[in-house]
Amino acid sequence: MNESCVRCGKCNPVCPTYRVSGNELCSPRGRYLLGERVLSGKIPATSDVVKSLLSCTDCYLCNPICPVGLDIVEMVHRARETFFVRDESCSRFSLSGFGIDYKGEKYEGKMSRGDGSVLLFPGCLVIDSFGDTLERLTELLACLDIPFVIIDACCNYPDWFKGGKICLPVEEETEFYVVCSSAYISLKKDAGVRYFLSFFEDVFPVRLPDNAVFVQEEASRSLGLIVADRQISSPGDLLLIFQQDSGMVHLLFERLIQQARGDVLVFESFHNLAVFRSLFPDVHSYHIIDFIHREVMES
């Protein structure tokens, strides 16, 4: 059935960007209706229209609320396609804000280490910037006797959020485990995709120290995982918003810190962890792997 937006506004208060901006342009209802009109050509993609459509952080908190079952996030992505230049190749993008530079050439994936049957897909950011955490993950897998192979490839998230498709150096429907929660969201429609946290369900909820709170992304939420005994919702994936509107990212993270009531933040998204650390270096932040590692090693 072709449902259309009934403009009830029920989606608005669950949206982190609406909450911090108090602006209908940064709300699910506003972006959905604007997206429809940009796609039909009724409204031109002026700078405030573009900014509005880019302000969605793909947290997916709005979709389940919609009483007519619209895929609000998908509409936003489709609308973005109308003004973004698409890059057909597997492109890596510059993260110069974090001291990471990519060459921008088309990347051919390769099997880099391990000799086992589980395909592990950490993603570029994890391999290049979170080597310690990746080591801990591989130690955990060794502990659990899970033989793995690491695929070093790009999930193409930067293109996906504009409606693009990813390209992976594996055959279709091969099962592989994604490590970054943002990569999982961009890949999850593929038949073979799994999320690495499912290896550790026996240790959930992870015991966090009293002054820590887990920031749950759509990845574990969509799988119904209760990862830690104290968890709050992420405002979504903020990496690309960071490059467009750092003011908004600041507000979203400030709100997150408020919700955490000043506790240490434990992320499952490497994107958000990277951006958070660069903006709030004095607030302690970790990845959940660090605590799962401690939990498994101590038992």
Partner 1 sequence: MISRSIKTCLRKIFGDRFSDETGLLFAYSYDAKFEGAPDAVVFPVDSDEVSRLLSLATEEGFPVIPRGAGTGQTGGSIPVEGGVVLSLERMNRILELDRENLTLTVEPGAITGDVKSYVAGFGLYYPPDPASYEFSTIGGNIAENAGGIHAVKYGVTANYVLGLEVVLPTGEMISFSGKLYKNATGYDLRDIFIGSEGTLGVITRAVLKLVPAPEAYATALVGFPDVSSIRRLASTVRSLSASACELVGKNIVPILMENFPSTLPPKTSYLMLVEFDGFGDEPKRLLDSMLSSFREVSFVVARDDSERERLWDIRRNVSPVIRANCTRGVSEDIVVPPASVPEMLEFLEELQAEFSVKIFSFGHAGDGNLHVNICYDELFPERQIEQLLEALFRKTVSLGGALSGEHGVGIAKKRFLDIYLSEESIRLHRRLKRILDPRGILNPGKIFDE
User: Which of 42/103 has CB closer to partner 1?
Assistant: 42
Least distance from C-beta 79 to partner 1, angstroms? Answer: 11
User: Which of 46/211 has CB closer to partner 1?
Assistant: 46
DSSP labels, 51-69:
HHHH-------SGGG-TT-
89 vs 111: CA distance, rounded Å: 19
User: Which of 24/295 has CB closer to partner 1?
Assistant: 24
Element (H, E) at 115: none
Nearest to 11 by CA among 258, 182, 24: 24
The number of C-alpha atoms within 13 Å of 151 and in the hemisphere containing its C-beta is 24
User: Which of 4/117 has CB closer to partner 1?
Assistant: 4
User: Which of 18/160 has CB closer to partner 1?
Assistant: 18
| Site residues for partner 1 per CB under 8 A | 6-13, 22-25, 27, 30, 33-34, 37, 43-44, 46-49, 51-52, 67-68
DSSP labels, 1-69:
---------TTGGG-HHHHHH--GGGSHHHHHHHHHHHHTTSS---HHHHHHHH-------SGGG-TT-
∠ CA 36-38-41, rounded to 5°: 110
Least distance from C-beta 48 to partner 1, angstroms? Answer: 4
The count of residues in the chain is 299
Positive or negative, the Cα torsion across 85, 272, 64, 10? negative
Least distance from C-beta 15 to partner 1, angstroms? Answer: 10
Least distance from C-beta 194 to partner 1, angstroms? Answer: 33
Least distance from C-beta 24 to partner 1, angstroms? Answer: 4
User: Which of 41/281 has CB closer to partner 1?
Assistant: 41
Least distance from C-beta 204 to partner 1, angstroms? Answer: 25
